[in-house]
Amino acid sequence: MVLRLPGLDHPFVDFHSWRQCDTLAVARYFAEIEMNILRPQLPYYGPPPNYAELEFCLVPYLTAWLFRLGGELNWIARLVIVAFSLWSVVSIYRVARELWDLKAGLAAAFGLAVHPVYLYFSRSFQPDVPMLALGLAALADFLVWRRSGSRMAALTGCFLFTLAVLVKPPAVVFAFPLFTWWLTARRPKKAIGAAYLVIPVAASLAYFSAIHGIAEHQFASGLISGFLHRLWTEGLPPEWWSDLGVGLFFYAVTPFFLVPLVFGLARSLASSARLAFVLWGAGLLVFFTISGSAVLNNLQYYYLLAVPLVVLAAAAAFADHPEGRAGFSRTGLTVVMLLVTGLGAFFVTGTYQHWVPAGWLANEPWRYESWYALEEKPLQVGRAIARETPVDALVVVVEPTPRTLFHSRRFGWFIAPEGFSDAYLAGVREEGARYLAWMENRPPPLAEAAIWYPEGFWLVDLAEK
């Protein structure tokens, strides 16, 4: 918990703030406009209502209720994600303990709690960590059913797995270990297997059918169809394997966990968990194949889906060995493993820049601390727009992301500078655009109606003749 407190009250202008602003905008409009989980809205693409086809917005919906109680405060939103991340730590402990023992459970919980990439996204307002928390809790409950036959645990796991897939569809990757553990369960299981297949599929179809009909913007289905179309027409580019290697090394494994992972894989692949881990890894490979290089190079949070497998495999290194093996007691072997993996982790962390491929070091992907840095301009410009424009004014912001529009608390449009044109401006004016926020160095269109603000932008009143 303590590791997740720094920056808890930071405004949403840190790493991947555009994604956080999207998620937070949905929570804002739930709280302020329409508290209907089947009617998520975004601030861009015109006047409200701006219904969008998004994943099941459980996280924004919960956050909106808290906003209604305490106001729209940054720490409230981030604390929701922190709570899910702590739940995920408990759940991965339960999974590792079911697979191995107490020591492995504690190692898995510690690994997930301190993993630098997971740590950052554990206070980043987006649905990825909640998806993992729900998925890991589902795995833990399923393993309880597999061991004890508890029908309640099986049904709870099915409910949580369904929620995980709804919150973010890539959670379907958890179906790979679930299938393996179901297949090897030595108890009546046909009804349980049918439930884990039918309920998530039916719930997803029902939800997306309901939201597809009212959404002006088909984000979820458009994203999936775009990924599949790119893969079908273009295939895998030659650099895909290298891109995947960089991402897995720095964002899923990280240099610190490489040595524990090697030792843990050796043990887990020699245990009864090997089939589940192999299929789980295959599911992740399918996911990364569909995602493509452009996503893997720019959206580091896509690698979060691999972090639980990495942590669980590494935790296997600390499971108890048979008594007396190699002349050590179980406690002695655990101490030796801690020393070996700890020293190995520090050695790899200090030397990897000398032996990994040189291309992997471009853009310094190991600088996790830089993710916490704040880019103040979108916040400052957004606040200036809010100060200088009427509440109901539609604003066009010329920038590549919707961050400034979000911070302005206005509806409207955002567009990258290279996509802006006179024809585009004429089109949005016909739809009701009243102001243009111009953040480029060159003079804006309709310069005679523009005012320069010290926050670093021009504001053009489009109603001026």
The tens digit of pLDDT for each residue in 52-110 reads 889 999 999 999 999 999 999 999 999 999 999 999 999 999 999 999 989 999 999 99
For residue 414, give every residue at least 6 positions away whose Cβ sits within 8 Å of its Cβ, in sequence order, or none: 44, 396, 397, 398, 399, 400, 401, 402, 404, 405
Q: Above pLDDT 90, what percent of the chain? A: 65
pLDDT of residue 77: 95
Token code pair at residue 403: 């961050």
pLDDT of residue 14 exceeding 60: yes
pLDDT tops 60 at residue 465 = no
Sheet of strand 395-398, all strands in order from the earlier edge strand to the far edge: 412-415, 395-398, 435-438, 457-461, 450-453
Residue 137 pLDDT exceeds 60: yes
Q: What is the pLDDT of residues 417-459, one digit of tens each?
A: 999 999 999 999 999 999 999 988 888 888 888 899 999 999 9
**pLDDT-derived band at 241, boundaries 50, 70, 90:** confident
Q: Are strands 435-438 and 450-453 parallel, antiparallel or unpaired?
A: unpaired
> CA-to-CA distance for 199 and 205, rounded, in angstroms?
10
Residue 322 has pLDDT above 70, yes or no: no
What pLDDT shows up at residue 324? 45
3-state secondary structure of 459: strand
* Residue recorded with tokens 């597999």: 146
What pLDDT is attached to residue 214? 83
Residue 231 has pLDDT above 80, yes or no: no
Q: Which residue has the higher pLDDT, 296 or 33?
A: 33
Output the pLDDT for position 329. Answer: 63
Average pLDDT over residues 196-221: 87
Smallest Cα–Cα separation from 72: which of 81, 64, 62? 64
CB 297 within 8 A of CB 186: no
Q: What is the DSSP string of 255-309?
A: HHHHHHHHHHHHHHTTSTTHHHHHHHHHHHHHHHHHH-HHHHHH-GGGGGGGHHH
Cβ-Cβ contacts under 8 Å for 423 (sequence gap 6 or more):
none
* Whether 302 contacts 248, CB under 8 Å: no
Over the range 315-341, which residues count as b (16 or more CB within 10 Å of their CB) and which as e?
A: bbbbbebeeeeeeeebeebbeebeeeb
Contact 403, 44 (CB under 8 A): no
* Cis before 49 (ω within 30): yes
- Quick one: average pLDDT of 186-207? 93
Q: What amino acid occupies position 417?
A: P
> How far is 214 from 40, CA to CA, in rounded Å?
10
**Other beta carbons within 10 Å of 125:** 25
Phi-psi region of 7 (alpha: psi -120 to 50; beta: other; left: phi over 0): left
Chain centroid, CA 33 distance in Å: 26
In this prediction, residue 220 has a pLDDT band, given cuts at 50, 70 and 90, of confident
Parallel, antiparallel, or unpaired for β 435-438 and 395-398? parallel
Which residue would you say has higher pLDDT here, 222 or 195? Answer: 195
Distance CA(28)–CA(41), nearest Å, equals 9
